[in-house]
Structure 1
């Protein structure tokens, strides 16, 4: 039994939370919405994992860095934290890129209609 991978995942999720708090991207702006989004994605991915295990596609194999605790046959507890990490990271990246895009759009000068120049019409 080793806590190495579990600890690495927990530290990584903690690092994402620190980054999220500093940049105010998700959890510290809309906590309920963030938790529902991450939990929903994790449930979908766990179902995907269960399907893969049932078909013999996914299996644990030789895993010296896992705790040995299982959520289900061939699904280690570390998988749950990995899926939280994966979905939380994706959500933070999406929010950060969206914010960056919105900031660029707001700061762009209005040079007239797209695709051409505007000319004043003499009356």
Structure 2
């Protein structure tokens, strides 16, 4: 079924955006910085792909799940959206881990004295 792979990527991208917006992780907090980071990193990975294609490292396999649009030899349309999703996912995950680290700092570093690991108690 052509287009199912692109559909899955777009579905995941929209889901990631909804999570991001609901919890104000990246796009709502810093829209310009988030957009620039995603676009720059996507461009970097596209350049990486093009170098890999030129050197023969990356090749496009045949799949009935692809739309069938190629932007360059061995570069399907789905690759651009996958790299966009991958870059956006990385930005959102960095925001999640930064928020968790800030929460731990606010609450005294996480574990209390009664929840130490056994090795910490014997020291």
| Shared fold (TM-score, shorter chain, > 0.5) | yes
Match of 1:65 in 2: 65
- The structure whose Rg is larger is 1
CA RMSD of aligned residues (A): 1.2
Match of 2:93 in 1: 93
Moved over 2 A (4+): none
Structure richer in helix, relative to its length: 2
The separation in 1 between residues aligned to 2:47 and 2:30, in whole angstroms, is: 26
Deviations 1:16-73, CA, capped at 9 Å, x for gaps: 0010011101112211111100000000000000000001111112221111111211
Structure 2 length-normalised TM:
0.85
Aligned length: 109
5+ residue gaps, structure 1: 110-123
Structure 1 length-normalised TM:
0.85
5+ residue gaps, structure 2: 110-123
Match of 1:8 in 2: 8
